[in-house]
Structure 1
């Protein structure tokens, strides 16, 4: 079961990767013992998705396969891929906002630790927004995330420039190169302002709500609702508000008594 937006987004990229190799997904029997199947001409690939580390063993199925599938694997007529998707939850908007506020308070007497705390909150907001992109960046470093969001016009050029500079400052502080930087309360405030903007953006709100939808509905890995299929492209400013409205409706219906 998929219970987090991070795992769902990674699953969508896995499907894209098979399609880019010429494979197309086909329907499977829910009792087959696999989560997905892909076909290209005479080649067949069966896929099992594991969401907990103890279940994961590379190319070793963790439960019984249907006899027909097991036979095709034994006869080298098909391939089995066993993939792991971590069920990691995103840091909430509320938690990020609390850390931003703490950094502002701390900055008057201790600007350097305040800057590090604020940057950590900024990073959480940045990565939440990055999980809206399709496909996900191949290099999932902080620098790649900042550039990807800039390229998709999800952060402004002025914020991009400051975040690039802030990343360099953070690295100097984190690695003990204190003489290279001089942090002031104003530096913390400037970073906190950007973090607040990112954390409260419509894209950020949309991703958080989709994460909640998945955690409540426990979407099977071999299928997804029509609503989820509609959001496999980038969640950007053009229609994030629509996603928020629909996700809020789903959550409200889930919370209502039957």
Structure 2
């Protein structure tokens, strides 16, 4: 599954037509994380290293994609499944969905899920999830910032697609620049973050779509975005 996701994401990374990615699942489980049968000592350290390296690559690819990635969650998201939700740019979940990092209960602390979860929710919330393994509800996940929206099950696809359509109305190059900048500045201190963001605002104005959007606003018309990837220019 991880290798399949990685392959799809690598294809998406080089697609100039893609505008948004939605990750979803069928059945009562969004993702239960790693298959514990693959993590016994019989598989060996080399195989275990491959599993977690691949997992880290998938989570990193999600954040490095130039388009937003939306998790559409209906059911249980545990361990690496919870990590997957935390790694996505937006997450819409049904009211009955739950989220957990229960590895501690089977002697395998969820250290890799903690990387994404610890960057998505307050530290003490993350630690409580990690050290107790207790699931949290969709509403608590929303409260703490793990997901962005909670909806009734019958409206899950409708609400998710509505967000995706809004993304598609924006300029691809502007969204790509904004997403990359957001990820970069979040890892910086305040002053460095402002320096980064201020430079990117200037770069954004140098984009064809940056100027087109401003002209369209002034002229009270819909903007006509470029269909291809573009670079900032002087």
Q: Same fold (TM over 0.5)?
A: no
TM-score norm. by structure 2 comes to 0.29
Report the structure number with the largest CA radius of gyration: 1
TM-score norm. by structure 1 comes to 0.27
Higher relative contact order (CA 8 A, sep 6+): 1
